């Protein structure tokens, strides 16, 4: 569970699709695939800031302006890394903060449900559920670099007139 984003564009081939099947890798932006598991709350919030709501709820296939969004990504990227380094929450727009809160509640409910089932099946109460949160600064840098690579691929497709857009599943 989490967010999966595939870069789509006019003329995308089966080989392009196949190359994006990376097994939920969080560092495959250069292939046109982004991943943030449900427990990666800050990363999901960054994605919600970068990609407009129409791609999240309406499944828009309208071309996304990767070139125009690059400055926002750069600013958010700096804030994201600073928040990870300092161990603080990233400052978000009100909309993204609401979505992050909603996702955190959903993640905790799923976590509790899984632990409840596991305990009924005899698992220890000490069981921990890994939810994919990058806890090391280097992991955060890798995830952010993947997001930049995704944007760079989008800009390349945009320069070629291929009308790229993010296909978001969450």
Domain ranges of the chain: 2-169
Q: What is the pTM of this model?
A: 0.77
pLDDT score at 133: 46
Q: How far apart are CA 85 and CA 81, in angstroms?
A: 6
**HSE-up (13 A, CA, CB side) for residue 86:** 10
Residues 90/80, Cβ–Cβ less than 8 Å: yes
pLDDT band, very low/low/confident/very high, at 129 (cuts 50, 70, 90): very low
Average pLDDT of the residues in 89-107: 65
Structure tokens at 39: 């427990």
Where helices occur in 58-136 by DSSP H, the ranges are 66-86, 94-120
Average pLDDT of the residues in 36-63: 90
Average pLDDT of the residues in 97-118: 62
């Amino acid at each position: 569970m989490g967010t999966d984003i595939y870069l789509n564009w006019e003329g995308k081939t089966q080989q392009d699709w196949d190359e994006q099947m990376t097994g939920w890798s969080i560092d495959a932006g250069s292939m046109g695939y982004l991943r943030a598991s449900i427990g990666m709350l800050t990363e999901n919030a960054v994605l919600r800031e970068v990609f407009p709501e129409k791609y999240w709820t309406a499944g828009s296939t309208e071309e996304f302006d990767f070139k125009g969004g690059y400055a926002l990504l750069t600013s958010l990227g700096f804030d994201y890394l600073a928040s990870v380094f300092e161990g603080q929450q990233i400052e978000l727009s009100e909309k993204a903060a609401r979505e992050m809160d909603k996702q955190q509640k959903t993640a905790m409910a799923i976590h509790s449900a899984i632990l409840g089932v596991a305990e009924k099946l005899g698992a220890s109460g000490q069981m921990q559920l890994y939810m994919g949160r990058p806890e090391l600064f280097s992991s955060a840098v890798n995830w952010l670099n993947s997001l930049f690579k995704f944007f760079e691929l989008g800009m390349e497709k945009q320069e070629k007139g291929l009308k790229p857009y993010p296909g978001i599943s969450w």
